Structure 1
Amino acid sequence: MGQATGELSPSAVRHRLATGRWHRICRGLLRVGDPHAAFHRDQQWWVAVLAAGEDAVLAGLAAAQAAGLRGNWRYEVVDVLVPHGRRAADLLRRLPPGLPAVRVRRTRDLPAEDRQRGHPDRTGMARSLVDAAGWARTDDQAQEILAAGCQQRRATPDEIGVVLERMPRARRRLLIRQTLRDIVGGAEALSEIDLVRLCRRHRLPLPEGQERRRDADGRVRYLDAYWRRWGLHVEVDGGHHMDVRHWAADLRRQNQIWIEGDRILRFTAFDVRRRPDEVAAQLRAALTAAGWRP
């Protein structure tokens, strides 16, 4: 509303409202166009930040997605950060239907380096990932968000770690730190992180994650987990392996590994997470057959 009256006279603003060219969303916020049209995602973010008042910034998963993080996470709440001395704006209780719930979070830990100008203003990517992981519904979702942020090169583990050190009261702080250590070790997908933790828990040697190899055609391939000393390669299959094209390519790659003399085991991500004892038993048997001794 302040921007409108800064550009136009109050009577001009009232005329546009009276004729239906503009519509009042809630106190202080106006919308141009069809009042019944659904808000698209960018508009939802703008409304949330503007309704929260001065110095508010988009935060958490919404801020990470606004900065380019890809993924199929659904959120029912758009998180907004405001300085600790501010009260949650009364406007939030009068937002129109069709918007996700808006949750205003107060914080004492929002230095200038964690703020980023944008459309709308938001927390920087590393801070957004830390907050999103802390506010996630489950530990698995928290790890998925961190792994995706690093895998998509939106932030490095070091950048996330620097933000985490500034936030001693961050939720899931220990989990975030452990996840970053696993990512630095080469595991960039949640299934690979689960595999590394399974090996630790069952006292198996740790694999080398994301190992680079060239196939018979000279193309660079990445192995999910590789025990170089014992020539054991483990592939953790996610949902994309159900696609027939991926499946055929995986079979060719598996054949090439056998031709070169390595062993290969394949597990589903579900088995790694839900049947860890069976996976550990097969890993132990394969490593032992290759010469490993506990």
Structure 2
Amino acid sequence: MITRAQLRAIGIDNDAVRHRITTDRWVARSAVVIGTTTGELTRNQLMRLGVLHAGGPAIIGDLSAAEVAGLRNWHRDEVTVLVPQGSDLGQPLEGIRFVETRRPLPIMRNPDLDLPVCRIEPAILHFAAYQHSMRTAEGVVAAAVQQRLTSPGLLLGWVDRMRPLRWAQTFRETLSEIEDGAQSLAELDVLRMCHQYGLRLPRQQTKRQDADGRIRFTDCEWLLPDGRTLVLEVDGAFHMEVGHWEDDLARQRALAASDRVQIRCTSRELRDYPERIARDLRMLGVPRVA
């Protein structure tokens, strides 16, 4: 991917460009950008097309930038490019969404990459702040931490740097809960359920060795008054697929022990009917808080 201006700078004039396009060696990807290869664009080429077409301080942003950083399970086909407010970009480009912003793009750019890409923290927060669903916003923030792409402390720092930021206080509260041990949206729901119904907070992501000697991490654990441990595993939607479901059953058997009670619930049940989960936890012996 190269702009017409860059080609002129190295001595390739418009006539030479036109000839290569006419003979199907090059492709005009936009009014500004020329592709020196034909065929379908790769993901990286599509991103580079977006920033070259926009020019200036434009950067790959939101979930596209998070994808470059390694975020899994949040893919969007359309590439997001952040551009300065008031940019005149002409006709839209297929597969690319240009988002205008007044934020200072140069300080948001990741300096370690050749491709102009937003840092993971402002990328996640910018995407989250414009979601209609707070659960989506909290979910992507939790996912970035859970996948070890960033930390609550770094995200909190960017919440302050990006003021004014929609839902900033909610992000602070969510990140505080994540710092206390919750790594996923479901684990956040467990903590909130415990606060709401007066239950003792669980230990989260407890390291366990299963019957095969493999290291596992349980979602939530409570030490019961009789000395046993109650384990709650929260199943997301992907756990309902046959392969995942069978894997979870095998995992539960491998972690079973005479002093350990294991129960499961779905993330939807936890979200929509927390009072049922809280009732069952109380009946199984989870202590109330004073």
Which of 100, 106, 118 pairs up with 2:102? 106
Mapped to 1, the partners of 2:220 and 2:257 lie a distance apart of 18
Q: Normalising to structure 1: TM-score of the pair?
A: 0.84
Mapped to 2, the partners of 1:53 and 1:245 lie a distance apart of 46
1:94 is aligned to 2:63: no
Shift of 1:293: 6.8
Question: Which piece of structure 1 moves more, 247-256 or 178-187?
Answer: 247-256
Residue identity in the other structure for 2:27: H
Q: Normalising to structure 2: TM-score of the pair?
A: 0.85
Mapped to 2, the partners of 1:249 and 1:189 lie a distance apart of 20
TM alignment of 1:108-127, pairs within 5 A: 108=104, 110=105, 112=107, 114-127=109-122
> Is the partner of 1:26 in helix, strand or coil?
coil
CA deviations 1:67-126 (Å, max 9, x no partner) are 2211144365614143xxx631x22x3134x32332222214x46475335352111112
Which of 194, 203, 207 pairs up with 1:199? 194
Which of 216, 228, 244 pairs up with 1:221? 216
For the structure 1 residues 214 and 114, does the alpha-carbon distance in structure 2 shift closer, same or farther, using more than 3 Å as the test? Answer: same
Which of 2, 23, 30 pairs up with 1:26? 30
RMSD: 2.6
For the structure 1 residues 28 and 116, does the alpha-carbon distance in structure 2 shift closer, same or farther, using more than 3 Å as the test? Answer: same
Q: State the match for 2:72 in structure 1.
A: 70
> Is the partner of 2:29 in helix, strand or coil?
strand
> Is the partner of 1:141 in helix, strand or coil?
helix
For the structure 1 residues 99 and 180, does the alpha-carbon distance in structure 2 shift closer, same or farther, using more than 3 Å as the test? Answer: same
Task: Report if aligned partners of 2:152, 2:178 keep a CA contact under 8 Å in 1.
Answer: yes
Which of 215, 235, 238 pairs up with 1:237? 235
Task: Report if aligned partners of 1:114, 1:127 keep a CA contact under 8 Å in 2.
Answer: no
1:269 is aligned to 2:267: yes
Question: Which piece of structure 1 moves more, 259-268 or 114-123?
Answer: 114-123
TM alignment of 1:76-87, pairs within 5 A: 78-82=80-84, 87=86
For the structure 1 residues 95 and 149, does the alpha-carbon distance in structure 2 shift closer, same or farther, using more than 3 Å as the test? Answer: same
Q: State the match for 1:161 in structure 2.
A: 156
> Is the partner of 1:191 in helix, strand or coil?
helix
Q: State the match for 1:13 in structure 2.
A: 17
Unaligned runs of 5+ in 2: none
For the structure 1 residues 177 and 292, does the alpha-carbon distance in structure 2 shift closer, same or farther, using more than 3 Å as the test? Answer: closer
Mapped to 1, the partners of 2:64 and 2:132 lie a distance apart of 14
Task: Report if aligned partners of 1:227, 1:233 keep a CA contact under 8 Å in 2.
Answer: yes
Unaligned runs of 5+ in 1: none
For the structure 1 residues 4 and 137, does the alpha-carbon distance in structure 2 shift closer, same or farther, using more than 3 Å as the test? Answer: farther
Question: Which piece of structure 1 moves more, 262-271 or 41-50?
Answer: 41-50
Mapped to 2, the partners of 1:279 and 1:106 lie a distance apart of 45
Shift of 1:163: 1.5
Mapped to 1, the partners of 2:206 and 2:185 lie a distance apart of 16
> Is the partner of 2:285 in helix, strand or coil?
helix
1:179 is aligned to 2:174: yes
Mapped to 2, the partners of 1:199 and 1:260 lie a distance apart of 26
Mapped to 2, the partners of 1:105 and 1:273 lie a distance apart of 34
> Is the partner of 1:281 in helix, strand or coil?
helix
Mapped to 1, the partners of 2:255 and 2:25 lie a distance apart of 66
Mapped to 2, the partners of 1:38 and 1:95 lie a distance apart of 18
Shift of 1:250: 3.6
Question: Which piece of structure 1 moves more, 1-10 or 153-162?
Answer: 1-10
Residue identity in the other structure for 2:6: Q
Shift of 1:254: 3.9
Mapped to 1, the partners of 2:218 and 2:9 lie a distance apart of 58
